[in-house]
A and B are shown apart, each in its own frame.
Chain A
Amino acid sequence: MVSQLTLGERQGALCILLLLAACGLLMLGAGQNDPLGVHGGIVMLFGVLLIFVVISGYFAPEPGTDAAGRYYDDPSKVGIVLAMLWAVAGFFIGDWVAWLLVYPEMTFDAAWSSFGRLRPVHTTSVIFGFGGNALIATSFHVLQRTTRARLPDQLSPWFVLLGYNLFCLLAVSGYLIGITQSKEYAEPEWYADIWLVVVWVVYFLIYMRTLARRKEPHIYVANWYYMAFILVVAILHIVNNLAIPVSFAGAKSYSLFAGVQDAMTQWWYGHNAVAFFLTAGFLGMMYYYLPKRADRPIFSYRLSIISFWGITFMYMWAGSHHLHYTALPQWVQTLGMTFSVMLLVPSWASAGNALMTLNGAWHKVRDDATLRFMMMAAIFYGISTFEGSFMAIRPVNSLSHYTDWTIGHVHAGAMGWVALITFGSFYAVVPWLWKREAMYSARLVEVHFWFALAGTLVYVFAMWNSGITQGLMWRTYSEGGTLTYSFIDSLVAMHPYYFARAVGGLLFLIGALVGGYNIWMTIRTAEGVKPEVLADLPAPAAARQASTGR
């Protein structure tokens, strides 16, 4: 990998890594009596390890001048492998905490093993580790193909990918040793947040520099979505994480905002992390890989633009629906509810656009599990956005809020939409990137599909049932006008659903393990390589036939 970097870039990489290792050492020294010191050690190790990697390839011959005539895909390849590793780790921890709610004694009398510390490890590994790496990897791939231009250099994509993974590593290791801001989906402390801003600026600049050099005058709509993802996540991240550190020698900080302002800022962030991280970015993925795999242009390009602006504009208003009936002023709640309901229009426009693209090609969907992953993702996108708008209506929210229904909704989106579109895109892009004719095993793709679908359905139905049961039990009155059920009654009623949920999660995890094995074997297997084919993409038709064995 280092051999693809020019000599100047190798030197640049060494400088950056030395600086990083020095920062780690500084944190280690300053935070001796603080968890910050542990993170200093991790940062330093990360830097030193990569210094060895660069040095080991430092004296390799430089890439020839013909490199400019090829796309630069190494970071995308590594990003996909990292995403699969995070997926397996994140799903495993997720299922572990699901079992903790069935068997709460499994904490070994240790601090790190409680639900409260492990839960953010799960959410961060899945959303940022798996989702983020998938977005970075595919965005580099899509960006180059749609602009017909190579990435501007070979160093900055690595900086973004590896720097981002360092952030994820700091995040999850921090929760285990008790470093957290408590803001959901923004738990990492101030120094990790600052580091992410640096990484993100470079990410944005890669996008702008590649776009500036594009040979295709029109910017394809997938890039709009990826750009909205990069830009808005930056805004959200910076505003929500404003905080005053107790000391520069410690991890702890206090949020700049308090009470109701903090709640609104947090859920403005929280909801739009869903919107721009888990929706816009993955829609970008969908708008490229689905037409590509189906070998059909998107049903309506116009509709994709309308939904883009609809989503970009309206999502930002919807966050306050997380705070219905709270101390937030009611007009803000109403505004949030109204926009949440209106959001259904651009959301369904996107889902419908995807499904209409497949209309007339259903035989492909039947035969090709990769395409079926994407179709199922679009269906779950439609379902969960409808559910989201529905749950944002105040009276519905009065029942659903604080219950497992929310958890079910989130997982319908995360497993059904985000993970399925990612797996579908990975199965499409892995053979293209590694110049294989097809995935190692089409049958294993099929196996993964059914495990993933079954897992999602079991999970989501369990949570719908438990959430609605819970919500109803909390508000049931006896004839005498008193509350019928104690809180613990409702908790006892949850037990079978928690068991079912853990089983659903296990199925989903098994699917991901199968997927990871399949991708790894595709990379390992040399037989599929056709050395004479320099073409980046095997003809889609050929790939499809190979994958279905017809």
Chain B
Amino acid sequence: MFGLHYKLERKAVGLVLAVIVAASIGGLVEIAPLFTIDETVEEAPDMRLYTPLELAGRNIYIREGCYACHSQMIRTLQDEVERYGPFSLAVESRYDHPMLWGSKRTGPDLARIGDKYSDQWQVAHLIDPRAVVPESKMPAYAWLARTPLETENFGAHLDALRIVGVPYTDEMIASASSDALGQATPDGPRAAGVAQRYGDATQIRLFDGDAATVTEMDALVAYLQILGRLTDAATASTAANVE
């Protein structure tokens, strides 16, 4: 026993190995079992995927650091369920690479913001938050409405997501750029394919009210309007389990 310790301390390599072993146990024990969690997690056969436009909106949400002030995780607490809606389930973020649960609510939780407000409200609020909510502390994002959405080569994004486990089909990947534009131009020729590939429930409309160009505002609002609406699993599981 003692000899071992003696060597451990004498040899720098021993110390290194001991540190690695001691430090990695906790992570292994807590993280490893999560990779078999699919066996126990809720089923959500109706779960649909982010469309290219929504994904682009999600990437804007990430780029602007929205997660620094808005969580997307309703905890199993009575007041949260009453304020924000049914608590979040693991299955709801199964396609979220990365997850955006957040850690701080300088602004309210957004896990179920989808369809709570109209597109017009969202656009007006993003352009000038204080015009809609005078006490708001949110930065103004007026320039999103002036910035055309970059959709070139969008298939590569879906392809990368397929590699990490999101079941996009070849057809979805091939028509990703076209679908991104189509979802925000309901009267255009590209719109029909979007519903066909992503389901009839897909919201296809002029999100920012401007038919001339598809902007980053379109994408962000499309994303906000789908939050919490990818599956009905949470509503179905009811608020009975609230602590």
Q: Is the CB–CB distance between A316 and B20 below 8 Å?
A: no
Chain B residues near A180 (CB-CB < 8 A): 62-63, 65
Which of A66-74, A255-263, A537-545 lies at the interface with chain B? A255-263
B211 within 8 A of A: no
Chain B residues near A224 (CB-CB < 8 A): 15, 19
Choose among B30, B63, B140, B166 the residue that contacts A264 (Cβ–Cβ < 8 A).
B30
A32 within 8 A of B: no
Q: How far is the CB of A161 from chain B (nearest CB, A)?
A: 22
B136 within 8 A of A: yes
Q: Is the CB–CB distance between A266 and B99 below 8 Å?
A: yes
Which of A37-45, A152-160, A228-236, A369-377 lies at the interface with chain B? A228-236
Q: Is the CB–CB distance between B97 and A258 below 8 Å?
A: yes
B89 within 8 A of A: yes
A245 to B163, CA, bound (A): 10
Among A195-230, those with CB < 8 Å from B are 208, 211-212, 217-219, 224, 227-228
Chain B residues near A329 (CB-CB < 8 A): 33-34, 37, 40
Chain A residues near B62 (CB-CB < 8 A): 180-182
Among A260-311, those with CB < 8 Å from B are 260-266, 268, 272, 276, 309
A536 within 8 A of B: no
Choose among B35, B65, B100, B108 the residue that contacts A116 (Cβ–Cβ < 8 A).
B65
A48 to B99, CA, bound (A): 39
B189 within 8 A of A: no
Choose among A101, A115, A227, A328 the residue that contacts B16 (Cβ–Cβ < 8 A).
A227
Among A64-112, those with CB < 8 Å from B are 100-101, 104-105, 107, 109-111
A497 within 8 A of B: no
A182 to B59, CA, bound (A): 10
Which of B66-74, B196-204, B217-225 lies at the interface with chain A? B66-74
Chain A residues near B34 (CB-CB < 8 A): 260-261, 264, 329, 332
Q: How far is the CB of A534 from chain B (nearest CB, A)?
A: 30
Q: Is the CB–CB distance between B9 and A219 below 8 Å?
A: yes
Chain B residues near A109 (CB-CB < 8 A): 140, 142-143
Q: Is the CB–CB distance between A258 and B16 below 8 Å?
A: no
A488 within 8 A of B: yes
Given contacts A116-B66, A246-B160, A260-B94, 9 further A-B contacts (CB under 8 A): A120-B65, A175-B65, A178-B64, A259-B96, A316-B23, A325-B75, A332-B30, A482-B82, A483-B79
Residues of B in contact with A (beta carbons under 8 Å apart): 9-10, 12-13, 15-16, 19-20, 22-27, 29-31, 33-35, 37, 40-41, 59, 62-69, 71, 73, 75-77, 79-80, 82-83, 87-109, 129-130, 133, 135-143, 152-153, 156-157, 159-161, 163-166, 243
